Every structure is written in structure tokens, then in C-alpha cells.
Amino acid sequence: MLRDITIGQFYHVASPVHRLDPRVKVVAALVYLISLFVFSSFAGYIVVTVFLLTVITLSRVPFSYIIKGLKPILILLLFTAFFNIFWTRGDVVFQWRFITVTWQGLRKGLFMAMRLIYLIIGSSMLTYTTTPNQLTDAIETLLKPLEKLHVPVHDFAMMMSLALRFIPILLDEANRIINAQSARGADFEEGNLWKRMKAMVSILVPLLVSSVRRAYDLAMAMESRCYHGGAGRTKMKPLKYRTVDGIVYGILVIYFIMILVVTHFIKI
């Protein structure tokens, strides 16, 4: 059930990827995401796959766990593939009444679906290997220059880290409420739309109430620790680059150039 949602959560193991400086990982994720959009040839996926598999192997996050994280986007995936396959004009492969499938459609559908899968896996690798705290630290440091333009970087970083922090808590809470309502005979899978919507209300209202309560408690807790925003705040564990981090930056540059070169020469 909801417990199975693994996307966006930290996976606690010790690995070289976990030990990397979070700034490197954020930049790597960004480079990776951009790299997925710069090519339109399947050859590019070879480079991406090699890169991603290396990261996954090094990170020691089980492959089955990562695949499970794809479950929530399954419907989106099917939709994307479906519309691309049936709504692209080109050379007809198969025709039956009003349904037409073209080569171009099949190719585009597959390409888009792969891009989506790679997007999700790549970005979840960031959250699997980086704690919310590290992530916030990294984003805050990386965006620091924007403060000159009066962008409240610290506030955004704090909000983001709180949001991430509360994902597992709210999931847990939702699970508990689902169980409690199931114990009262609520059925979330059977019945007509109206009945199922009514059952959903029995989850959403308590969840909303408890979120508000938690937000209120959290605000009180922060206030009582004299939290007053980012100004003059120091860090217990400031981020420091190691040699490995420099090497990874180098690898990223090579990776990006590889993709550009490979897809420039091989157009499939």
C-alpha cells in the first residue's frame, strides 16, 4: 500500500555515493536531467544507462527497491506511451478501423517512456543517497549568490527540507488512518465512484486536520528554539569538498560531452 512508495525517500546504507558532498550530487542530478533532453537518438541512452548503472551499483541501493519507486508513475508512463504511439503521423505499420500505429509513433512512444523512467530513477537516486538535511544544505549553499538579488534562499531551503522531512511522517499517518477506517469497514477499492470518493474523504479530512496540527506544533517548537531565519546562522557541519568530489565534477563534464559526441555521430 502507501508504505510501498519509495520515491523521494532516503535509503540508509553506507556507500561511496552516500559519502559524496551533497553539492556534487545536486549538480550531478541537474547535469543528468539536462543531459536527458539534449539528444533525440537512442544511442544517447547507452551512455545514460552506463552512467546510471554505475551510480546505482556504487550506491548499494537494491535495484528492486528502485523499480518499486516507479510504481506511482506507471499510469503517467502508460498515458505518455499511449498518446505518442496512437497520435503520431508517419509511416503506417498497423491499421484497424480508426486505430493507426506508425513507426514514428512507436519510436516516439518508446523514447518518451524511457526518458520518463530515466528522469524518475535519476532524480530519485539523489534522494535515496542524500538526507533531506544534506540536500537543503547543498541547495542553500549553491543558491547563496542569489541572496544578492534579495531572493530569500534560506527560507526556501528550510521550507523544502521541512516538506521532505514530512513526507515519511505523513505517509505513516495516512497509512494509520487508512487502517483505522478499514477497521470501520471502509472499502477503498470496491463500490461505485461516489462510494469510493466518500471513502477517500474519510482519509483526507483526518489527514488534513493532523497536518495542520503538526504544522502548528512545529512552528511552536521552532519558535521556542528562537529560530529567526537564516541571518547570522552558523553550521555545525559546514560542507567541505574532498578530492573525490573534484573527480566526480570532472566525470560529469566528460559524461555530458560523451552524450553530445555520441548522439552527434550515431543517429538512430
Asked whether the beta carbons of 43 and 266 are under 8 A apart, the reply is yes
Nearer to another protein, 213 or 267 (CB): 213
Nearer to another protein, 185 or 238 (CB): 185
User: Residue 64 Cβ, how far from another protein at the closest point, in Å?
Assistant: 7
93 touching another protein, by CB under 8 A: no
Nearer to another protein, 6 or 136 (CB): 6
Q: How far is residue 217 from each of residues 47, 77, 154, 209, measured CA to CA in Å? A: 48, 38, 21, 12
Contacts of 80 (CB under 8 A, 6+ apart): 109, 112, 113, 116
Nearer to another protein, 1 or 92 (CB): 1
CA 201, 204, 207: angle at the middle one, nearest 5?
145
User: Residue 182 Cβ, how far from another protein at the closest point, in Å?
Assistant: 6
Using only the alpha carbons of the chain, give its radius of gyration: 23
194 touching another protein, by CB under 8 A: no
* Grid cell locating 86: 496512437
64 touching another protein, by CB under 8 A: yes
Residues 9-28 within binding reach of another protein (CB under 8 A): 11-13
Strand, helix or coil at 101?
A: strand
Residue-by-residue DSSP string for 238-265: -----HHHHHHHHHHHHHHHHHHHHHHH
Candidate residues 147, 155, 172, 187; the one interacting with another protein per rule CB under 8 A = 187
183 touching another protein, by CB under 8 A: yes
Tell me, by CB under 8 A, how many residues bind another protein: 25
Interface pattern 118-157 for another protein (x via CB under 8 A): ----------------------------------------
181 touching another protein, by CB under 8 A: yes
Helix (H) or strand (E) holding 28: helix 22-35
Please tell me the distance from the alpha carbon of residue 29 to that of residue 47, in angstroms, as a whole number: 15
Residues in touch with another protein (CB under 8 A): 3, 11-13, 62, 64-65, 173, 176-177, 179-187, 201-202, 205-206, 209-210
